[in-house]
Structure 1
Amino acid sequence: MILSRRHLLAASAAGLATLGARGAAAQGAAAGYPSRAVSVMVPFAPGGSTDFVARLLSQELSTALGQQFVVDNRAGASGTVGMTFLARARPDGYTLGVVPNGTFAMAPAMFERLPYDNENGFAPIGMLATNAMFLCVAPDSPYRTLADLLTASRAQPGRLSFASAGSGVANHLGPELLQEMANVQWLHVSYRSGALGVQAVIAKETTLSYVDSVTAIPFLRDRTLRALGFSGAERSPQMPDIPTIAEQGFPGYRASTDFGFFAPAGTPQPIIDRLGTEMRRIMLSPATKARLEPLAIDPVGGTPAEFGPYAAAERAKWGDLIRRRNIKPE
């Protein structure tokens, strides 16, 4: 059948009407959003930097938007248990996630198959903040500088050990990257949490651990730990005497925990936009900066457009390292 110009115009008008109705519905959903409590998934147990950032954001969003934003901790499998839950949630803005790059950029390269589409299953709202780590040893460790540690490591390949919170997370891959750049070999010892790894260093069960600044700074201030380097691109304002790893002979070195804010794919764009606007206002406010600064967490408040290229670069960087070093889940 040959369609006349009149039929084509009628079909086009109908299609535009449908799109207009969908757009109006999305705008309407955003206008009344949120009308009930919102769940904010964190793919790790309570405590630690991801949970801290999520609770700070949730508290402020509750005040700003007039409904409760409630943190929902769903731990397991390097964060992929929580990401599976988020990917399968209804895309209506009532299930969100605060997720570190250890989960959205590192973990995908650790598993042959994931129960979700890591690249297309989520709608990025923006990057919240970044939190670098301190390379820590016991306070009475014989290693007083990074150079001391690396000299001993080269003399005893595989004898010195480092603690992590699990295979493929940030404080596992940060040391793996340094081993590769420094041409040393350490024994990886995996614990159930970063806190247990810290205790292992203090008890001298392991030689060192990368400790996120939220956890490390109180230990460093009371001299329960000693830091040999900072994994950020610049020195920590809270611990300015501790040099970065990059400036100690490894230019370009950077390993941090970066926190992304996500919704399930298909969440209406007006809701994403509203959440993004509020998130950026909260994260870049003087009050939030004042709460984060003592913990050496740097607020970012990025946009969805900025998040895509960043996430792709992180996946490439850490995915290549995981493949080169043949790192597997435990």
Structure 2
Amino acid sequence: MSTLAPPPPGAPAPAVLAAVAPQGPDVAGHRPVAPDARPGVVADPLPLPRAGWGAADALAALEEARLVLPVAPDEPEVVSVLTTVVLRLGDDAVKVYPPGTDAAHLGAVATALDGSRRGLLPRQAPVVTSSGVVVVSPWLADARPARWPRIGRALRRFHDDHTDADVPAWVPLRRLDGLLDALPDDAAAVLLDARAALLDAVASAGTELGTGAVHGDVSPGNVLRSRGRTWLVDLDFVARGPLEYDLTSAARRFDAGELDDVTYLRFCRAYGHDVRGWAGRPVLDAVAELGGVLFRLWDDRQRGVGSPWLGAAVGRWRTPL
């Protein structure tokens, strides 16, 4: 979860919208890492961090970035550490992505969402350093997770505002490529086959709601309420895909008992659609499930522990649908 805020009324557009060139700004000659050129490997613009990368690296990246960023000289506070690191620096939220992150991708998404009434955008261009890619946004004061009806309304506004946004195409499960080297050959083959089957099924499923800019990670932690307004944050995975994908998260939570009937139906009414009756939903649920497996693999690797559960998971993915 990040804690970001919109610029004050009348403030200039975030610098990222004008300043990100294909290479993006850098510090001391550190350019974005070149895309993976291996045959059959889709370069991930948002790669998972290597084992050991974390808060210390993010703090080092911020210190480098201070050379070109107009940020306060305050001592940063570490807010969260996961696949990225979020720092608080005075009135700014500083998000640091691991080395290899495509700064041009981050800039392109922000540019495509210019003028968003519900999506919170960075102040200026990402800065590439030797320890990570640094993005600065206003800190969102008094933030709290939004309730599901508000999430539904904010999500509908976001979808309506960005139907034609020029964001990258949705490429599910691309992070598998970065985990293959740590997997046994049989497990890697099964998961690759499962991904291929799911991507084919996604292409065949179509959409009832149409395609547009999907947030890609809808949850109360990524939809925040602050001073009378609701904002979608963590826009890293915004992509052009079936709008139903953003609705399946609530449906899965309902199925799991996390949301009761009343709460779920209020979400559906606020958005204007209930995805449970759509024939393509099982495919998107399977995509999310396999994505959870990939995250769990990465988390085990990051913590230096084994994955004794992998055998059972591989068995499940021999028949992905």
TM-score (normalised: structure 2): 0.27
Higher helix fraction: Structure 1 or Structure 2? 1
- Normalising by structure 1, we get a TM-score of 0.26
Structure with the bigger RCO (C-alpha within 8 Å, sep 6+) is: 1
In terms of fraction of residues, the more strand-rich structure is 1
